[in-house]
Chains A and B, each alone.
Chain A
Amino acid sequence: MAAIELDGVTKQFGDVTAVSDLDLTVPEGEVFGFLGPNGAGKSTTINMLLDFVRPTAGEVRVLGLDAKRESVAVRRRTGVLPEGYDVYHRLTGRKHVEFAMRSKEVDGDVDAILERVGIADAADRKAGGYSKGMRQRLTLGMALVGDPDLLILDEPSSGLDPGGAREMREIVRAEADRGATVFFSSHVLGQVESVCDRVGIMREGELVAEDSIEGLRDAVEGGETLVITVDAASEENLDAVRALDGVTDATTDGGTVTVTCDPDAKTAVIGALEDAGVTVKDFQTEETSLEDLFIAYTEGEVSA
C-alpha cells in the first residue's frame, strides 16, 4: 500500500499557485527525499499531508486515509517535524515529550527518547532557553514518540551542525530499518543522498524529477561538461554539434560553448565546431556531479 498518495493536487493562495497538479506516490517502507529550492512548494505539500492547509483541487491520502476527513487518525500514526514551528518556552523538554505521549495516548520512556535525540542533559531545562538545534532535536524526539508508521520531516537538518545532521540521518536510517516510511524535505541534495531510496525534485510548484538516487546517478554517469573557449560562436554553429551522437546539450554565450556529452564524443565536438568555421582557442572538461544535476533541475535548465 502507498504511505502517501497525491493525485492531481493543486494549492492556490489567492492568485499564487504554490503547488500545481501534483501527482506523487510514496510506497510504504520507503525513504523519500523531497527536494527543491526554498519556495518550490515542498512545505505546502507537507502541510496538505497534515491538514494544516487544504488543497484547492485534487486528492490527498496518507496511510490509506483521507488527509482531511481522517486527519486525526493520520496524525496518530505519524511523527512530524514541521517547518516554521516553535516550542513552548515555559515548558521543559521533558514536559514536551510527556505531552506528545499523552496526545498520542501511548506510554513510553521519556528519558530514552531525549537520550536518543541527544538532549537528555537538558531534559529539565525550559525549552525557551534551547538553541535552534536543540529545539530541532526536541521536536524530532516528539515525532519519534509511539513508533510512528510514517515520519514526515520538513527540513530536518536546518539548525543542526554537521554532527547533528549526521545523527539525524542515522535516526532516519534506524526508523526505516524498523519499517517506517520516511518522507523528508531538504533544499540540499547532500543531506539526503546517502539515506534516500528515492527522491522527487520540486520546482515552482511542480515535480520536475522523480527517481531513485541510482537512477539519477546513472543519468549523470560518465557525463561530462565540455567548456570550450572560442573566438565567436552562434546558435547556428551549434546545430552541427547537437546533431552528434552522445551530445545531450549545447549552449553558447558567444565566447564560450558549453556542451554536455559522453567522453567519447569530445573530439567530434571540437571537430564539428572547427568545420563550422569556429576557432577553438582552449577547452576543458568537467565531470558532471549529482549536485550539478540537482542544480540544473532546480534552476530550470533541465526538464524531465
Chain B
Amino acid sequence: MTWQAVARKDFEDAVRSRWVLGLSVLFVLLVSLAAYLARPAPGQTISSNQILNSRLIRDALVTTLIPLIALVVAYNAVIGERESGSLKLLLSLPHSRADVVFGKVIGRSGAIAAPVCAGFLLPALIFVIVPAVNFDVASYLGYTALTAILGVAFVAIAVGFSTAASSSRRAVGGAIGTYFLFVPLWGAVQLPLQLYLGMSGSPSWLPLTGQQVLRMLRLLNPTGSFKIVSNAFLQGALYTQGNVSMQVSATLMLLVWILVPPLLGLLWFQEADL
C-alpha cells in the first residue's frame, strides 16, 4: 500500500501548476465579492451563514464553478501521465495500479481542497474583524469542508474517466459530458419535470410517486446531494431535524460518487497494456 507516496507526489506536482495558484486567487476574489454584495446596511449585522447561503456563493461559485474546476484539475490525472510516459516511471516503482488510481484521487483532491480552503478562509479574516458580520466559526469551517467534498466528488468522477480513457481527448469528453449533464442539463430538465409530475402525477408504469422521482433526481446529482447536506448543515439541522433520511441518503450518495467512478476506471485499467 503505497498510495500515500503517490498522493503526496501528485499533490506536490499539482500545486506547482499555475492552475492551483490562479484558482486560489479567483476563489478569494469571488468569496470577497459575495461578502461585499451581501453586506448589511449600516447599523445592521449579518451572519456569515447568510453570506454562504447567498446565491453568488451557493449557486454561482460552489455548485456551478467548483464542479467545472474540479473536472479541469483532474481529467488529466492518469491519462496525462500515460501519454507523457511518466506513468512508466511511476509504475517502475512498487505501486499497484490501485495505489496509482486512489493516490491520484487523493492528490488531486488536495489540489482542489487547497484553493477552496484558501478562497474561503482568507476572506474570513475580514469577517472576523468587521463587527457587522456575526461570524459563526464552526459552520463557516464546516461549509468550507463540504465545498471541498463536492470538489472531491467531481475529482473522483474525472479521475475515473482519466483512468479508463485511452486518450486525453476521451477523458476531456467524459469530463465535459459530466459537467453538462449535472450542471446545466439537470437543472433544465428538473423544472419542466417538476411541473409535469405536479400536474399529471407520475406515470402508472412507474412504481414511484412524482415526489419520489424528483427526490431521486436531486439525490443522484452530486450538486443536488451537496445542497441537501449543506442547507441542513447551515440551519444547524444536519442529521437531527427536517428530512433526516434524505440528508443521510445525500451523504451516502456523495460517498458513492467519490468511490465508484475511480473503482470502475480501475477495473478497466487493471487489464490494460500501458
Query: Which residue of chain B is the closest to A44 with respect to CB atoms?
Result: B273
Docked-complex contact B9 and A85, CB < 8 angstroms: no
A95 partner residues in chain B, CB cutoff 8 A: 9, 12
Is the pair A82, B16 in contact by a Cβ cutoff of 8 Å?
no
Q: A84-B85, A86-B84, A91-B13 are in contact. Are A102 and B94 (CB under 8 A)?
A: no
Number of A-B contacts (CB under 8 A): 81
Contacts of B86 in A (CB 8 A): 85-88
**Most A Cβ at <10 Å: residue of B85, B88, B271, B274:** B88
Contact check, B274 vs A76: say whether CB atoms are below 8 A apart.
no
Q: How many residues of A are counted as interface, with CB atoms below 8 angstroms from the partner's CB atoms?
A: 33
Give the residues in chain A near B84, CB-CB below 8 Å. Answer: 86
Interface residues on B, range: 20 to 34
List the B residue with the shortest CB-CB distance to A90: B16
Q: How many Å lie between the Cα of A287 and that of B2 in the bound state? A: 55
User: Mostly helix, strand, loop or mixed at chain B's interface?
Assistant: helix
Which residues of the partner chain A approach B12 to less than 8 Å between Cβ atoms? Answer: 91, 95
CA distance A142 to B92 in the complex (A): 10
**CB neighbors of A among B1-28 (8 A):** 2, 4-6, 8-9, 12-13, 16-17
A102 touching B5 by the CB < 8 A rule?
A: yes
CB-defined contacts of A137 to chain B, threshold 8 Å: none
Binds B, one of A47-55, A112-120, A177-185, A191-199: A47-55
Complex CA gap A103/B6 in Å reads 8
> Would you call B96 an interface residue if the criterion is a C-beta within 8 Å of the partner chain's C-beta atoms?
yes
- How many angstroms from the CA of A56 to the CA of B120 in the assembled complex? 53
- Among A73, A99, A100, chain B packs the most CB atoms within 10 A around the CB of A99
Let me know if A173 is at the binding interface, CB within 8 A: no
| Chain B residue, CB-CB nearest to A99 | B9
Least CB distance from A42 to B in Å reads: 15
Residue B93 is within 8 A (CB to CB) of chain A in the complex: yes
Q: Is B91 an interface residue (CB 8 A)?
A: yes
Q: Which chain B residues lie closer than 8 Å to A268 at the CB level?
A: none
Would you call A139 and B89 a contact (CB within 8 A)? yes
B95 interfacial contact with A, CB 8 Å: yes
27 cross-chain CB contacts under 8 A: A13-B273, A47-B274, A50-B92, A52-B273, A53-B274, A54-B271, A71-B96, A72-B96, A75-B91, A75-B92, A75-B94, A76-B94, A85-B85, A85-B86, A85-B92, A88-B9, A90-B16, A95-B9, A100-B93, A102-B5, A102-B9, A103-B2, A103-B5, A103-B6, A103-B94, A142-B89, A142-B92
Besides A95-B12, A103-B5, A103-B93, 19 other A-B contacts (C-beta < 8 A): A52-B273, A53-B273, A53-B274, A72-B94, A72-B96, A73-B94, A75-B92, A81-B92, A82-B89, A84-B85, A85-B88, A86-B89, A88-B89, A90-B17, A91-B9, A91-B13, A95-B9, A102-B2, A102-B5
